Amino acid sequence: MDTTKIKVLLVDDDVLLGSTVVAELIKRGYEATYLSATYGVEDAIKQLSPDVLVFDVEIGKENGIKMAEEVFKGHPALPIIFISSHHEDETKEAGLMAGGVAYIDKPFSVKLLSAHIDRFTRMRKLTPEAPEHIISVGKTQLDTRNRTLILIDDSMVDLRPMEYVILKKLTDHLNEIVSREDIYYAIWKKDTAYYNEQSLNNYIRRVRVMLENNDTGLEVSLHRSLGYKLREKE
């Protein structure tokens, strides 16, 4: 057993989803184990010593939140991430009150789950220094491996491909003007046939709105005929 790998225990009664997620996590370098029922969870925790527990809120007829609450009592240092198709605020609050560190709405991307796993297992392993793939900027952190933005409340924004490329380019040149040509190249490389001014305007607008709506402490300013600048709000 490779003890350097992050160990994930996933509990979900959706066998297709569970098997798919575990397979993707293994591809990403995790040591992942899947259970389709709550039976055997405690034994699995003792045997596997997972770094994180990913728990469905509704597992067959079982209440995943109540089960996780019992797990939390016996293993208070074990991060629990809930995944669920129940999007009500009351359910999310109940999950977090039961000991959960995060609540992810279904459907979700494996890269977003991976970003949460990395975030909270790093905290558990008492390594507060940010790894190389985490860039602190404004009130946020840009996770360049999972292409997500980690907000001040530990929630995360799953960035679309173009949003990530633009934000990464601007972050690399924080407080500097980046020309439209440089952003074009970052997005489309040498495929000049795909350069589209209106598309770039739309992508920039999305990034601006995303930064503004999530209290990132960042803003993108336009410098006519020169380009764009990412800067921290005063």
Output the CA–CA distances (angstroms, integers) from residue 179 to 25, 118, 182, 201, in the order listed: 37, 33, 5, 13
pLDDT at 195: 67
d(CA 96, CA 185): 43
Contact between residue 194 and residue 183 where contact means Cβ atoms under 8 Å apart: no
pTM above 0.75, yes or no: no
Angle at 138 between CA 156 and CA 233, to 5 degrees: 125
Rg from Cα positions in the chain: 20
| SS3 annotation, 201-221 | HHHHHHHHHHHHHCCCCEEEE
Q: Where are the domains of the chain?
A: 7-129, 136-232
Q: Which residues pair with 143 in a beta bridge?
A: 134, 148
Chosen CATH of 7-129 out of 3.30.413.10, 3.60.10.10, 3.40.50.2300, 1.10.8.50: 3.40.50.2300
Q: Which residues pair with 31 in a beta bridge?
A: 7
Contact between residue 130 and residue 78 where contact means Cβ atoms under 8 Å apart: no
| Chain centroid offset of residue 4 CA | 21
pLDDT at 196: 72
Q: Which residues pair with 148 in a beta bridge?
A: 143, 158
pLDDT at 126: 43
pLDDT at 210: 93
Contact between residue 158 and residue 210 where contact means Cβ atoms under 8 Å apart: no
Q: Computed from CA positions of residues 213, 215, 218, 224, in that sequence, does the dihedral angle turn out positive or negative? A: positive
Angle at 58 between CA 159 and CA 93, to 5 degrees: 60
Contact between residue 64 and residue 82 where contact means Cβ atoms under 8 Å apart: yes
d(CA 103, CA 13): 17
Q: Average pLDDT per run of 10 along the chain, which is 234 residues long?
A: 75 94 94 92 92 92 88 90 92 90 91 89 56 85 89 85 93 94 83 72 92 93 92 87
d(CA 58, CA 61): 7
Burial of 182 (0-12, 13-18, 19+ CB in 10 A): middle
Q: 136-232 — its CATH code?
A: 1.10.10.10
